[in-house]
Amino acid sequence: MHLRFGWERNAGEHVGVPMLSRADSIEAIAGQRFEVVVIGGGITGAGVALDAASRGYSVALLERGDYAIGTSSRSSKMVHGGLRYLQNLDLGLVREALIERQLMVQLAPHLVYPTPFLVPGFAEERRDRRIGIGLNMYDVMATTRVGRSRREMRSSKDEDEDFSWSPDRHRTIGREEVLELVPALAERDPRDAYLFYDCQTDDVRLTLTILGEAERFGAVMLNGADVTDVLDDGGRAAGVAFVEAESGERFEVRADNVVNATGVFADRIRPEEVVDEEDVPRIAPSRGTHLLLDRADVSTGEAACIVPAGEGRAIFALPWYGRTLVGTTDNDYDGDIEHPRPAAEDIAYLLDAVNAFFGTSASDSDLVGAYAGVRPLISTGDPRKSVDISRRAELYETSSGMLTITGGKLTTWRRMAKQTVDRLVEREGREAPCHTAELPLGMEARPADLEAPEGVGEEAVAQLAFRYGHAARKVLDLAREDPGLAAPIVAGRPDLLAEAVIAARYEQARSVADLLLRRTRLGLLAAPQLRDAEAVRPVAEALGGALGWSRRQVKREAEAWPAALAEAGADPAAASPSPTV
Protein backbone atom coordinates (compact mmCIF):
# COMPACT_ATOMS: atom_id res chain seq x y z
CA MET A 1 0.00 0.00 0.00
CA HIS A 2 1.74 3.19 -1.09
CA LEU A 3 1.58 6.43 0.88
CA ARG A 4 2.45 9.94 -0.21
CA PHE A 5 3.38 12.74 2.12
CA GLY A 6 3.97 15.59 -0.31
CA TRP A 7 1.00 17.72 -1.26
CA GLU A 8 2.34 19.19 -4.51
CA ARG A 9 1.05 17.94 -7.84
CA ASN A 10 2.02 18.24 -11.43
CA ALA A 11 -0.62 19.08 -14.00
CA GLY A 12 -0.28 15.68 -15.63
CA GLU A 13 -0.56 13.71 -12.42
CA HIS A 14 -3.46 11.32 -12.11
CA VAL A 15 -5.96 13.17 -9.90
CA GLY A 16 -9.66 12.71 -9.29
CA VAL A 17 -11.85 9.64 -9.79
CA PRO A 18 -9.03 7.20 -8.85
CA MET A 19 -11.10 4.80 -6.76
CA LEU A 20 -10.42 1.08 -7.02
CA SER A 21 -13.04 -1.10 -8.68
CA ARG A 22 -15.29 -2.98 -6.27
CA ALA A 23 -13.65 -6.29 -7.18
CA ASP A 24 -10.20 -4.91 -6.43
CA SER A 25 -11.45 -3.32 -3.21
CA ILE A 26 -12.97 -6.59 -1.99
CA GLU A 27 -9.68 -8.35 -2.65
CA ALA A 28 -7.72 -5.58 -0.87
CA ILE A 29 -10.01 -5.52 2.20
CA ALA A 30 -11.42 -9.01 2.84
CA GLY A 31 -9.47 -10.98 5.43
CA GLN A 32 -6.86 -8.23 5.78
CA ARG A 33 -5.77 -6.19 8.78
CA PHE A 34 -5.76 -2.41 8.93
CA GLU A 35 -4.86 0.13 11.53
CA VAL A 36 -8.22 1.87 11.09
CA VAL A 37 -11.55 0.65 9.73
CA VAL A 38 -14.19 3.34 9.13
CA ILE A 39 -17.88 2.43 9.01
CA GLY A 40 -19.85 4.86 6.85
CA GLY A 41 -19.20 6.41 3.45
CA GLY A 42 -20.78 9.81 3.94
CA ILE A 43 -18.75 12.98 4.14
CA THR A 44 -17.71 12.41 7.76
CA GLY A 45 -16.48 8.87 7.12
CA ALA A 46 -14.70 10.05 3.98
CA GLY A 47 -13.05 12.81 6.01
CA VAL A 48 -11.88 10.38 8.69
CA ALA A 49 -10.42 8.09 6.02
CA LEU A 50 -8.54 10.98 4.41
CA ASP A 51 -7.27 12.39 7.70
CA ALA A 52 -6.09 9.02 8.99
CA ALA A 53 -4.53 7.91 5.71
CA SER A 54 -2.69 11.21 5.26
CA ARG A 55 -1.18 10.76 8.75
CA GLY A 56 0.21 7.38 7.76
CA TYR A 57 -2.46 4.97 9.01
CA SER A 58 -3.58 2.05 6.86
CA VAL A 59 -7.31 2.57 6.37
CA ALA A 60 -10.32 0.64 5.10
CA LEU A 61 -13.73 2.28 4.70
CA LEU A 62 -16.99 0.31 4.40
CA GLU A 63 -20.32 1.73 3.24
CA ARG A 64 -23.55 -0.28 3.45
CA GLY A 65 -25.27 1.35 0.48
CA ASP A 66 -23.72 3.90 -1.84
CA TYR A 67 -21.32 6.69 -0.98
CA ALA A 68 -23.17 9.75 0.36
CA ILE A 69 -26.50 7.91 0.05
CA GLY A 70 -27.79 9.39 3.30
CA THR A 71 -27.62 12.89 4.71
CA SER A 72 -24.47 13.72 2.71
CA SER A 73 -26.47 13.78 -0.53
CA ARG A 74 -29.48 15.55 1.00
CA SER A 75 -27.98 18.72 2.43
CA SER A 76 -28.78 22.30 1.52
CA LYS A 77 -25.68 22.32 -0.75
CA MET A 78 -24.21 25.18 1.24
CA VAL A 79 -20.81 25.56 2.86
CA HIS A 80 -21.62 28.25 5.37
CA GLY A 81 -21.38 29.52 8.90
CA GLY A 82 -25.10 29.27 9.61
CA LEU A 83 -26.65 32.66 10.26
CA ARG A 84 -29.62 31.19 12.11
CA TYR A 85 -27.38 29.53 14.71
CA LEU A 86 -26.56 33.05 15.90
CA GLN A 87 -30.13 33.23 17.23
CA ASN A 88 -29.12 30.63 19.82
CA LEU A 89 -25.85 32.49 20.46
CA ASP A 90 -24.01 29.36 19.29
CA LEU A 91 -21.05 31.53 18.40
CA GLY A 92 -18.46 28.75 18.62
CA LEU A 93 -20.23 26.63 16.02
CA VAL A 94 -20.64 29.58 13.64
CA ARG A 95 -17.01 30.59 14.04
CA GLU A 96 -15.78 27.04 13.42
CA ALA A 97 -17.96 26.71 10.32
CA LEU A 98 -16.80 30.05 8.90
CA ILE A 99 -13.16 29.00 9.27
CA GLU A 100 -13.94 25.73 7.49
CA ARG A 101 -15.80 27.62 4.76
CA GLN A 102 -12.66 29.64 4.03
CA LEU A 103 -10.56 26.48 3.91
CA MET A 104 -12.92 24.69 1.53
CA VAL A 105 -12.84 27.52 -1.00
CA GLN A 106 -9.06 27.40 -0.85
CA LEU A 107 -8.69 23.60 -1.00
CA ALA A 108 -11.47 22.84 -3.51
CA PRO A 109 -11.96 26.02 -5.55
CA HIS A 110 -13.63 24.12 -8.40
CA LEU A 111 -16.23 22.61 -6.05
CA VAL A 112 -16.88 25.25 -3.39
CA TYR A 113 -17.74 28.69 -4.68
CA PRO A 114 -19.01 31.99 -3.22
CA THR A 115 -22.59 33.07 -3.89
CA PRO A 116 -24.13 36.49 -3.12
CA PHE A 117 -27.07 36.26 -0.69
CA LEU A 118 -29.73 38.96 -0.45
CA VAL A 119 -32.07 39.91 2.38
CA PRO A 120 -34.38 42.31 0.50
CA GLY A 121 -36.38 45.07 2.14
CA PHE A 122 -39.69 46.21 0.71
CA ALA A 123 -41.48 49.54 1.07
CA GLU A 124 -44.28 48.12 3.19
CA GLU A 125 -41.97 46.36 5.62
CA ARG A 126 -39.95 47.62 8.55
CA ARG A 127 -36.31 46.56 8.57
CA ASP A 128 -35.55 43.93 11.20
CA ARG A 129 -32.53 45.38 12.99
CA ARG A 130 -31.61 41.93 14.33
CA ILE A 131 -30.63 40.87 10.82
CA GLY A 132 -28.12 43.68 10.54
CA ILE A 133 -26.71 42.88 13.96
CA GLY A 134 -26.42 39.21 13.00
CA LEU A 135 -24.62 40.08 9.77
CA ASN A 136 -22.18 42.30 11.66
CA MET A 137 -21.38 39.36 13.95
CA TYR A 138 -21.02 37.13 10.87
CA ASP A 139 -18.51 39.58 9.40
CA VAL A 140 -16.45 39.71 12.58
CA MET A 141 -16.32 35.92 12.96
CA ALA A 142 -15.36 35.48 9.28
CA THR A 143 -12.01 37.23 9.80
CA THR A 144 -8.89 35.18 9.20
CA ARG A 145 -7.50 32.86 11.84
CA VAL A 146 -4.28 34.81 12.01
CA GLY A 147 -6.17 38.02 12.61
CA ARG A 148 -5.26 39.83 9.42
CA SER A 149 -7.75 42.21 7.87
CA ARG A 150 -9.19 41.64 4.40
CA ARG A 151 -7.12 44.57 3.10
CA GLU A 152 -3.96 42.89 4.39
CA MET A 153 -5.07 39.65 2.80
CA ARG A 154 -5.56 41.34 -0.57
CA SER A 155 -2.04 42.76 -0.30
CA SER A 156 -0.74 39.28 0.46
CA LYS A 157 -2.53 37.96 -2.60
CA ASP A 158 -1.07 40.69 -4.77
CA GLU A 159 2.38 39.72 -3.48
CA ASP A 160 1.69 36.01 -4.13
CA GLU A 161 1.90 35.19 -0.43
CA ASP A 162 -0.20 32.45 1.10
CA PHE A 163 -3.72 33.66 1.79
CA SER A 164 -7.23 32.37 2.51
CA TRP A 165 -10.39 33.47 0.76
CA SER A 166 -12.64 35.71 2.83
CA PRO A 167 -15.67 37.66 1.66
CA ASP A 168 -16.14 41.39 1.87
CA ARG A 169 -18.22 42.69 4.74
CA HIS A 170 -21.95 42.74 4.21
CA ARG A 171 -23.38 45.95 2.85
CA THR A 172 -26.69 47.50 1.91
CA ILE A 173 -27.39 47.79 -1.81
CA GLY A 174 -30.01 49.91 -3.53
CA ARG A 175 -33.00 48.97 -5.64
CA GLU A 176 -31.17 48.99 -8.97
CA GLU A 177 -28.45 46.61 -7.80
CA VAL A 178 -31.03 44.33 -6.21
CA LEU A 179 -32.92 44.04 -9.48
CA GLU A 180 -29.71 43.58 -11.44
CA LEU A 181 -29.00 40.49 -9.31
CA VAL A 182 -32.60 39.24 -8.99
CA PRO A 183 -34.79 40.66 -11.78
CA ALA A 184 -37.75 38.53 -10.63
CA LEU A 185 -38.23 40.86 -7.65
CA ALA A 186 -39.23 43.78 -9.89
CA GLU A 187 -42.96 43.29 -9.19
CA ARG A 188 -42.30 43.50 -5.45
CA ASP A 189 -40.47 46.82 -5.93
CA PRO A 190 -37.64 46.24 -3.44
CA ARG A 191 -36.37 49.27 -1.56
CA ASP A 192 -32.91 47.85 -0.87
CA ALA A 193 -31.27 44.70 0.46
CA TYR A 194 -28.53 43.45 2.69
CA LEU A 195 -25.88 41.72 0.56
CA PHE A 196 -23.53 39.13 2.06
CA TYR A 197 -21.66 36.07 0.81
CA ASP A 198 -21.77 32.37 1.64
CA CYS A 199 -20.72 29.36 -0.40
CA GLN A 200 -22.30 26.51 -2.33
CA THR A 201 -21.19 23.06 -3.48
CA ASP A 202 -22.38 19.68 -4.75
CA ASP A 203 -22.36 17.64 -1.55
CA VAL A 204 -21.99 14.23 -3.22
CA ARG A 205 -19.20 15.37 -5.50
CA LEU A 206 -17.39 16.85 -2.51
CA THR A 207 -17.71 13.50 -0.69
CA LEU A 208 -16.43 11.56 -3.71
CA THR A 209 -13.51 13.95 -4.11
CA ILE A 210 -12.52 13.47 -0.47
CA LEU A 211 -12.72 9.69 -0.94
CA GLY A 212 -10.54 9.98 -4.02
CA GLU A 213 -7.93 11.89 -2.03
CA ALA A 214 -8.08 9.26 0.73
CA GLU A 215 -7.38 6.58 -1.87
CA ARG A 216 -4.41 8.61 -3.08
CA PHE A 217 -2.92 8.19 0.41
CA GLY A 218 -3.52 4.46 0.40
CA ALA A 219 -7.01 4.09 1.89
CA VAL A 220 -9.22 1.37 0.42
CA MET A 221 -12.98 1.80 0.28
CA LEU A 222 -15.92 -0.40 -0.61
CA ASN A 223 -19.63 0.34 -0.97
CA GLY A 224 -22.33 -2.33 -0.82
CA ALA A 225 -20.63 -3.58 2.37
CA ASP A 226 -23.13 -3.95 5.22
CA VAL A 227 -21.33 -4.10 8.57
CA THR A 228 -23.15 -6.63 10.74
CA ASP A 229 -20.78 -7.10 13.69
CA VAL A 230 -18.01 -5.37 15.56
CA LEU A 231 -15.39 -8.04 16.25
CA ASP A 232 -14.23 -8.55 19.81
CA ASP A 233 -10.79 -9.48 21.08
CA GLY A 234 -10.50 -9.56 24.84
CA GLY A 235 -13.05 -6.81 25.31
CA ARG A 236 -11.57 -4.56 22.62
CA ALA A 237 -13.12 -3.66 19.28
CA ALA A 238 -10.82 -5.51 16.88
CA GLY A 239 -12.43 -5.06 13.47
CA VAL A 240 -15.76 -5.69 11.78
CA ALA A 241 -17.64 -8.30 9.80
CA PHE A 242 -19.61 -7.27 6.73
CA VAL A 243 -21.84 -8.81 4.09
CA GLU A 244 -21.02 -7.93 0.49
CA ALA A 245 -24.19 -6.90 -1.34
CA GLU A 246 -23.75 -8.62 -4.70
CA SER A 247 -22.48 -12.01 -3.52
CA GLY A 248 -24.09 -12.15 -0.09
CA GLU A 249 -20.75 -13.40 1.23
CA ARG A 250 -19.61 -12.55 4.76
CA PHE A 251 -16.11 -11.16 5.26
CA GLU A 252 -14.09 -10.11 8.28
CA VAL A 253 -11.70 -7.18 8.47
CA ARG A 254 -9.34 -6.99 11.43
CA ALA A 255 -8.36 -3.53 12.65
CA ASP A 256 -6.57 -1.87 15.54
CA ASN A 257 -9.19 0.89 15.62
CA VAL A 258 -12.89 1.00 14.67
CA VAL A 259 -14.56 4.32 13.83
CA ASN A 260 -18.33 4.57 13.53
CA ALA A 261 -19.18 7.46 11.18
CA THR A 262 -22.68 6.37 10.16
CA GLY A 263 -24.45 9.65 10.84
CA VAL A 264 -28.11 9.19 11.66
CA PHE A 265 -27.49 5.46 12.16
CA ALA A 266 -24.70 6.05 14.69
CA ASP A 267 -26.68 4.72 17.65
CA ARG A 268 -27.34 1.43 15.87
CA ILE A 269 -23.73 0.25 15.68
CA ARG A 270 -22.20 -0.65 19.02
CA PRO A 271 -20.04 -3.45 20.45
CA GLU A 272 -21.98 -6.16 22.26
CA GLU A 273 -20.42 -5.37 25.62
CA VAL A 274 -21.84 -1.84 25.79
CA VAL A 275 -24.30 -1.54 28.65
CA ASP A 276 -23.90 2.12 29.53
CA GLU A 277 -26.08 4.20 27.19
CA GLU A 278 -23.88 7.24 27.83
CA ASP A 279 -21.12 5.49 25.85
CA VAL A 280 -22.99 5.92 22.59
CA PRO A 281 -25.06 8.71 21.08
CA ARG A 282 -28.83 8.74 21.03
CA ILE A 283 -29.97 10.30 17.79
CA ALA A 284 -32.94 12.65 17.60
CA PRO A 285 -33.58 12.76 13.82
CA SER A 286 -34.72 15.94 12.14
CA ARG A 287 -36.06 16.00 8.58
CA GLY A 288 -35.14 18.74 6.14
CA THR A 289 -37.08 19.01 2.87
CA HIS A 290 -35.89 20.78 -0.28
CA LEU A 291 -37.58 21.53 -3.59
CA LEU A 292 -36.22 22.22 -7.07
CA LEU A 293 -38.00 24.42 -9.58
CA ASP A 294 -37.39 25.43 -13.16
CA ARG A 295 -35.96 28.93 -13.27
CA ALA A 296 -38.69 29.85 -15.72
CA ASP A 297 -41.16 29.42 -12.86
CA VAL A 298 -39.10 30.83 -9.98
CA SER A 299 -35.74 32.49 -10.53
CA THR A 300 -33.30 34.07 -8.12
CA GLY A 301 -31.17 35.38 -10.95
CA GLU A 302 -27.50 35.59 -10.01
CA ALA A 303 -28.00 35.52 -6.24
CA ALA A 304 -29.60 33.58 -3.43
CA CYS A 305 -32.44 35.07 -1.39
CA ILE A 306 -33.37 34.70 2.25
CA VAL A 307 -37.14 34.20 2.19
CA PRO A 308 -39.45 34.85 5.19
CA ALA A 309 -41.48 31.74 6.04
CA GLY A 310 -43.68 32.80 8.94
CA GLU A 311 -43.34 32.70 12.72
CA GLY A 312 -39.96 34.38 12.58
CA ARG A 313 -38.45 31.64 10.43
CA ALA A 314 -36.73 31.95 7.08
CA ILE A 315 -35.87 29.65 4.19
CA PHE A 316 -33.65 30.22 1.19
CA ALA A 317 -33.98 30.14 -2.57
CA LEU A 318 -30.74 29.81 -4.48
CA PRO A 319 -29.41 28.95 -7.93
CA TRP A 320 -28.03 25.41 -8.25
CA TYR A 321 -27.20 23.51 -11.45
CA GLY A 322 -29.44 25.82 -13.46
CA ARG A 323 -32.47 25.29 -11.22
CA THR A 324 -33.86 27.11 -8.18
CA LEU A 325 -33.27 25.20 -4.96
CA VAL A 326 -35.66 26.00 -2.11
CA GLY A 327 -35.33 24.88 1.50
CA THR A 328 -35.31 23.92 4.17
CA THR A 329 -37.73 22.62 6.73
CA ASP A 330 -36.46 21.41 10.09
CA ASN A 331 -38.90 19.12 11.89
CA ASP A 332 -38.58 16.35 14.44
CA TYR A 333 -38.88 13.06 12.56
CA ASP A 334 -39.83 9.57 13.71
CA GLY A 335 -40.33 7.92 10.31
CA ASP A 336 -38.17 5.69 8.12
CA ILE A 337 -34.65 7.14 8.34
CA GLU A 338 -33.38 4.90 5.54
CA HIS A 339 -35.79 6.30 2.94
CA PRO A 340 -36.99 9.75 4.05
CA ARG A 341 -39.28 11.48 1.58
CA PRO A 342 -40.61 15.03 1.34
CA ALA A 343 -43.93 15.31 3.16
CA ALA A 344 -46.88 16.98 1.43
CA GLU A 345 -47.18 19.56 4.22
CA ASP A 346 -43.49 20.47 3.92
CA ILE A 347 -43.81 20.91 0.16
CA ALA A 348 -46.84 23.17 0.65
CA TYR A 349 -45.02 25.18 3.35
CA LEU A 350 -42.01 25.86 1.12
CA LEU A 351 -44.09 26.69 -1.95
CA ASP A 352 -46.34 29.06 0.00
CA ALA A 353 -43.30 30.98 1.28
CA VAL A 354 -41.64 31.22 -2.13
CA ASN A 355 -44.83 32.22 -3.93
CA ALA A 356 -45.56 34.94 -1.39
CA PHE A 357 -42.02 36.30 -1.69
CA PHE A 358 -41.65 36.27 -5.48
CA GLY A 359 -45.31 36.85 -6.36
CA THR A 360 -45.43 33.55 -8.26
CA SER A 361 -47.96 30.71 -8.34
CA ALA A 362 -45.77 27.61 -8.51
CA SER A 363 -47.42 24.37 -7.41
CA ASP A 364 -46.20 20.85 -6.77
CA SER A 365 -46.97 20.04 -10.42
CA ASP A 366 -44.19 22.50 -11.37
CA LEU A 367 -41.50 20.78 -9.33
CA VAL A 368 -38.61 19.28 -11.30
CA GLY A 369 -37.34 17.48 -8.21
CA ALA A 370 -37.38 17.25 -4.43
CA TYR A 371 -35.57 15.49 -1.63
CA ALA A 372 -35.60 15.08 2.12
CA GLY A 373 -32.70 14.33 4.41
CA VAL A 374 -32.48 13.31 8.05
CA ARG A 375 -30.03 15.25 10.18
CA PRO A 376 -28.25 13.32 12.94
CA LEU A 377 -29.01 15.62 15.86
CA ILE A 378 -27.90 14.34 19.23
CA SER A 379 -30.58 13.93 21.87
CA THR A 380 -29.92 15.97 24.99
CA GLY A 381 -33.29 15.54 26.67
CA ASP A 382 -34.11 19.14 25.77
CA PRO A 383 -37.85 19.38 25.05
CA ARG A 384 -37.34 22.12 22.47
CA LYS A 385 -37.94 21.46 18.80
CA SER A 386 -35.00 20.36 16.68
CA VAL A 387 -34.87 23.72 14.96
CA ASP A 388 -33.40 25.05 18.23
CA ILE A 389 -30.85 22.29 18.86
CA SER A 390 -27.20 22.89 18.03
CA ARG A 391 -25.49 21.07 15.15
CA ARG A 392 -22.28 20.66 17.11
CA ALA A 393 -20.45 17.36 16.54
CA GLU A 394 -19.82 14.92 19.35
CA LEU A 395 -17.17 12.20 19.71
CA TYR A 396 -17.93 9.14 21.83
CA GLU A 397 -15.59 6.38 22.96
CA THR A 398 -16.87 3.06 24.33
CA SER A 399 -15.05 0.87 26.79
CA SER A 400 -14.09 -1.33 23.82
CA GLY A 401 -12.23 1.57 22.22
CA MET A 402 -14.66 2.08 19.35
CA LEU A 403 -15.00 5.76 18.41
CA THR A 404 -18.30 7.21 17.21
CA ILE A 405 -18.40 10.64 15.58
CA THR A 406 -21.79 12.14 14.75
CA GLY A 407 -23.77 15.39 14.73
CA GLY A 408 -22.20 18.37 13.01
CA LYS A 409 -22.96 19.45 9.47
CA LEU A 410 -21.56 19.32 5.96
CA THR A 411 -19.36 22.40 6.38
CA THR A 412 -17.52 21.05 9.43
CA TRP A 413 -16.63 17.59 8.07
CA ARG A 414 -12.89 18.24 8.20
CA ARG A 415 -12.96 19.41 11.80
CA MET A 416 -15.03 16.35 12.80
CA ALA A 417 -12.54 14.04 11.11
CA LYS A 418 -9.62 15.80 12.78
CA GLN A 419 -11.26 15.47 16.20
CA THR A 420 -11.64 11.72 15.65
CA VAL A 421 -8.14 11.00 14.35
CA ASP A 422 -6.58 13.28 16.98
CA ARG A 423 -8.06 10.92 19.56
CA LEU A 424 -6.57 7.88 17.82
CA VAL A 425 -3.18 9.55 17.76
CA GLU A 426 -3.45 10.64 21.38
CA ARG A 427 -4.28 7.23 22.80
CA GLU A 428 -1.54 5.54 20.76
CA GLY A 429 1.08 8.13 21.67
CA ARG A 430 1.97 8.78 18.02
CA GLU A 431 3.59 11.83 16.50
CA ALA A 432 1.20 12.35 13.60
CA PRO A 433 -0.09 15.90 13.08
CA CYS A 434 -3.17 16.62 10.96
CA HIS A 435 -2.51 17.78 7.38
CA THR A 436 -6.02 18.20 5.98
CA ALA A 437 -5.98 22.00 6.28
CA GLU A 438 -3.25 21.90 3.60
CA LEU A 439 -4.38 19.05 1.34
CA PRO A 440 -5.89 20.06 -2.01
CA LEU A 441 -9.19 18.34 -2.75
CA GLY A 442 -8.97 17.40 -6.39
CA MET A 443 -7.30 19.71 -8.86
CA GLU A 444 -8.91 22.75 -10.41
CA ALA A 445 -9.33 23.04 -14.18
CA ARG A 446 -10.62 26.06 -16.06
CA PRO A 447 -13.22 25.35 -18.74
CA ALA A 448 -11.02 27.22 -21.22
CA ASP A 449 -8.25 24.67 -20.63
CA LEU A 450 -10.46 21.69 -21.49
CA GLU A 451 -10.61 20.55 -25.09
CA ALA A 452 -14.13 19.38 -25.91
CA PRO A 453 -14.91 16.91 -28.71
CA GLU A 454 -17.51 17.67 -31.33
CA GLY A 455 -21.02 17.75 -29.92
CA VAL A 456 -20.04 18.76 -26.39
CA GLY A 457 -21.05 22.36 -25.74
CA GLU A 458 -19.68 25.06 -23.47
CA GLU A 459 -22.28 24.45 -20.76
CA ALA A 460 -21.30 20.79 -20.53
CA VAL A 461 -17.59 21.65 -20.34
CA ALA A 462 -18.19 24.22 -17.60
CA GLN A 463 -20.21 21.72 -15.58
CA LEU A 464 -17.55 19.03 -16.00
CA ALA A 465 -14.88 21.46 -14.79
CA PHE A 466 -16.96 22.18 -11.69
CA ARG A 467 -17.86 18.56 -10.98
CA TYR A 468 -14.52 16.84 -11.71
CA GLY A 469 -11.86 19.55 -11.90
CA HIS A 470 -8.77 18.29 -13.74
CA ALA A 471 -10.34 14.82 -14.02
CA ALA A 472 -12.93 16.23 -16.43
CA ARG A 473 -10.40 15.33 -19.11
CA LYS A 474 -11.20 11.66 -18.54
CA VAL A 475 -14.87 12.29 -19.30
CA LEU A 476 -14.04 14.28 -22.42
CA ASP A 477 -11.57 11.65 -23.61
CA LEU A 478 -14.31 9.02 -23.40
CA ALA A 479 -16.70 11.25 -25.31
CA ARG A 480 -14.03 11.75 -27.96
CA GLU A 481 -13.34 8.01 -28.29
CA ASP A 482 -17.03 7.11 -28.48
CA PRO A 483 -19.21 9.91 -29.90
CA GLY A 484 -22.29 8.12 -28.56
CA LEU A 485 -21.09 8.93 -25.06
CA ALA A 486 -20.99 12.64 -25.92
CA ALA A 487 -24.80 12.63 -25.97
CA PRO A 488 -26.67 14.22 -23.07
CA ILE A 489 -28.38 11.93 -20.57
CA VAL A 490 -31.42 14.23 -20.59
CA ALA A 491 -32.27 16.48 -23.51
CA GLY A 492 -31.51 20.09 -22.68
CA ARG A 493 -29.23 19.23 -19.74
CA PRO A 494 -25.40 19.24 -19.93
CA ASP A 495 -24.73 15.88 -18.21
CA LEU A 496 -23.09 13.38 -20.59
CA LEU A 497 -23.49 9.62 -20.97
CA ALA A 498 -19.72 9.38 -20.64
CA GLU A 499 -20.19 10.24 -16.97
CA ALA A 500 -22.03 6.95 -16.48
CA VAL A 501 -18.95 5.06 -17.65
CA ILE A 502 -16.67 7.11 -15.37
CA ALA A 503 -19.01 6.46 -12.44
CA ALA A 504 -18.99 2.70 -13.05
CA ARG A 505 -15.24 2.37 -13.69
CA TYR A 506 -13.84 4.72 -11.08
CA GLU A 507 -16.53 5.59 -8.51
CA GLN A 508 -18.08 2.19 -7.77
CA ALA A 509 -21.53 3.12 -9.12
CA ARG A 510 -23.63 -0.04 -9.21
CA SER A 511 -27.07 1.08 -10.39
CA VAL A 512 -29.00 3.64 -12.40
CA ALA A 513 -29.99 5.28 -9.09
CA ASP A 514 -26.33 5.63 -8.09
CA LEU A 515 -25.75 7.54 -11.31
CA LEU A 516 -28.88 9.69 -11.47
CA LEU A 517 -29.36 10.53 -7.79
CA ARG A 518 -25.72 10.93 -6.78
CA ARG A 519 -22.95 10.83 -9.44
CA THR A 520 -25.03 13.28 -11.44
CA ARG A 521 -28.00 14.93 -9.75
CA LEU A 522 -30.44 14.49 -12.62
CA GLY A 523 -32.93 12.54 -10.51
CA LEU A 524 -33.39 15.77 -8.54
CA LEU A 525 -32.96 18.25 -11.40
CA ALA A 526 -35.04 16.62 -14.13
CA ALA A 527 -37.21 13.97 -12.47
CA PRO A 528 -40.24 14.41 -14.78
CA GLN A 529 -38.05 13.61 -17.80
CA LEU A 530 -36.81 10.41 -16.18
CA ARG A 531 -40.00 8.77 -14.97
CA ASP A 532 -39.96 5.53 -16.92
CA ALA A 533 -37.53 2.75 -17.70
CA GLU A 534 -37.26 3.70 -21.35
CA ALA A 535 -36.00 7.18 -20.47
CA VAL A 536 -33.04 5.72 -18.56
CA ARG A 537 -32.26 2.85 -20.91
CA PRO A 538 -29.19 4.66 -22.40
CA VAL A 539 -27.85 5.14 -18.85
CA ALA A 540 -28.32 1.45 -18.05
CA GLU A 541 -26.58 0.49 -21.30
CA ALA A 542 -23.61 2.78 -20.57
CA LEU A 543 -23.29 1.41 -17.03
CA GLY A 544 -23.74 -2.13 -18.30
CA GLY A 545 -21.00 -1.74 -20.87
CA ALA A 546 -18.57 -0.72 -18.14
CA LEU A 547 -19.71 -3.34 -15.62
CA GLY A 548 -20.18 -6.28 -17.97
CA TRP A 549 -23.96 -6.57 -17.61
CA SER A 550 -25.94 -8.87 -19.88
CA ARG A 551 -28.82 -7.49 -21.95
CA ARG A 552 -31.22 -8.98 -19.44
CA GLN A 553 -29.50 -7.23 -16.54
CA VAL A 554 -29.46 -3.92 -18.42
CA LYS A 555 -33.23 -4.29 -18.84
CA ARG A 556 -33.68 -5.17 -15.15
CA GLU A 557 -31.61 -2.21 -14.00
CA ALA A 558 -33.58 0.22 -16.18
CA GLU A 559 -36.86 -1.22 -14.95
CA ALA A 560 -35.74 -0.87 -11.32
CA TRP A 561 -35.26 2.87 -11.68
CA PRO A 562 -38.89 4.12 -11.40
CA ALA A 563 -39.25 2.38 -8.04
CA ALA A 564 -35.98 3.95 -6.83
CA LEU A 565 -37.18 7.39 -7.94
CA ALA A 566 -40.47 6.89 -6.08
CA GLU A 567 -38.67 5.59 -2.99
CA ALA A 568 -36.57 8.77 -2.89
CA GLY A 569 -39.69 10.93 -3.24
CA ALA A 570 -37.80 12.93 -5.85
CA ASP A 571 -40.74 13.48 -8.22
CA PRO A 572 -43.71 14.97 -6.32
CA ALA A 573 -45.08 16.31 -9.60
CA ALA A 574 -45.81 12.75 -10.73
CA ALA A 575 -48.48 12.40 -8.06
CA SER A 576 -49.87 15.89 -8.57
CA PRO A 577 -53.17 16.20 -10.46
CA SER A 578 -52.81 17.76 -13.89
CA PRO A 579 -53.89 21.38 -13.96
CA THR A 580 -57.29 21.99 -15.48
CA VAL A 581 -57.53 24.04 -18.63
**What are 114-143's pLDDT values in tens digits?**
999 999 999 877 777 778 888 888 888 887
* pLDDT at residue 223 greater than cutoff 90: yes
Task: Find the mean pLDDT for residues 269-282.
Answer: 55
What does the pLDDT read at residue 270?
Answer: 66
> What's the whole-number mean pLDDT along residues 157-180?
73
- Predicted local distance difference test score (pLDDT) of residue 188: 92
Q: Which CATH number fits domain 284-378: 3.40.50.920, 3.40.50.300, 3.30.9.10, 3.40.920.10?
A: 3.30.9.10
- Cα dihedral 422/424/430/434 (nearest 10): -30
Nearest to 499 by CA among 532, 529, 456: 456
Confidence of residue 272 (pLDDT cuts 50, 70, 90): very low
Global pTM reads 0.92
What average pLDDT score do residues 397-421 get?
Answer: 93
Q: Options 3.30.230.80, 3.40.50.880, 3.50.50.60, 3.40.1710.10; which CATH number does 22-72+204-282+388-428 get?
A: 3.50.50.60
Cα 251 to Cα 244: distance, rounded to the nearest angstrom: 8
Tell me yes or no: is domain 447-574 CATH 1.10.8.870.
Answer: yes
pLDDT of the residue at 16: 53
pLDDT digits (tens, 9 = 90+) for 70-111: 999 999 999 998 877 776 667 778 889 999 999 999 999 999
Residue 276 has pLDDT above 60, yes or no: no
Say if residue 383's pLDDT is above 60. no
β-bridge pairing 78-79 and 220-222: unpaired
pLDDT category of residue 366 using cuts at 50, 70 and 90: very high
Q: Give whole-number Cα distances, 197 to 26, 115, 178, 246, 574, in Å.
A: 44, 6, 14, 45, 36
CATH 3.50.50.60 segments of the chain: 22-72+204-282+388-428
Cβ atoms of 181 and 302 within 8 Å: the answer is yes
Q: Specify the pLDDT at position 114.
A: 94
pLDDT confidence tier of residue 268, bands split at 50, 70 and 90: confident
Q: Which amino acid is at 36?
A: V
Q: What is the pLDDT of residue 89?
A: 64
Question: Range(s) for CATH 1.10.8.870 in the chain?
Answer: 447-574
Rounded distance, CA 562 to CA 506, Å?
25
Residue 476, pLDDT above cutoff 60: yes
3-state SS, residue 498:
helix
Q: Tell me, what's the pLDDT at 390?
A: 52
**Does residue 239 have a pLDDT over 60?**
yes
Alpha-carbon 204 to chain mean position: 4
Give the pLDDT score at 264: 87
Q: pLDDT-based confidence at 280, cuts 50/70/90? A: low
